Amino acid sequence: MGALINFSFKNPDGSYENYTMSVNDETNQYGQNVSVFKRQTKEQRDAKEKRDYVGNGTVAWTDGKVVAAERKEATENPVAELDF
């Protein structure tokens, strides 16, 4: 597997739908290498529950690199100190 991408869509009521996109290194019989499914909880994955697939597709363009995003931790004191 090439990469897993987690993303969310905001619904009109303010709630969010969470999805996972799987980008594979090899294509299937239809020339597709991307699958999108509803994100599962750790418990659902551990129980091997079936994924709720939304759709399939292909990578349209790449620069040859896929980089995992680093999560930025919130600082404990968000107030900046100023020198006068």
Tokens 């290194």 belong to residue: 25
Q: Is residue 8, in this structure, part of any structural domain at all?
A: yes
pLDDT computed for residue 74 by the predictor? 60
Q: Is residue 81, in this structure, part of any structural domain at all?
A: no
Q: Is residue 80, in this structure, part of any structural domain at all?
A: no
- In this structure, the number of other CB atoms found within 10 A of the CB of residue 37 comes to 16
pLDDT computed for residue 77 by the predictor? 52
Rounded CA-CA distance 36/71 in Å is: 22
pLDDT computed for residue 1 by the predictor? 56
Q: Total domain count for the chain?
A: 1
Q: Is residue 26, in this structure, part of any structural domain at all?
A: yes
Q: Is residue 27, in this structure, part of any structural domain at all?
A: yes
Question: Tens digits of per-residue pLDDT, 25-73?
Answer: 889 999 999 999 999 999 999 999 999 999 999 988 888 887 787 877 7
Domain that holds residue 35: 3-57
pLDDT computed for residue 71 by the predictor? 76
Rounded CA-CA distance 24/52 in Å is: 18
Question: Tens digits of per-residue pLDDT, 71-82?
Answer: 777 655 544 444
pLDDT computed for residue 84 by the predictor? 40
Q: Is residue 9, in this structure, part of any structural domain at all?
A: yes
DSSP 55-79: EEE------S---PPPPPPPPS--S
Q: Which DSSP symbol is given to 43?
A: H
Decide which of 23 and 82 is more confident: 23
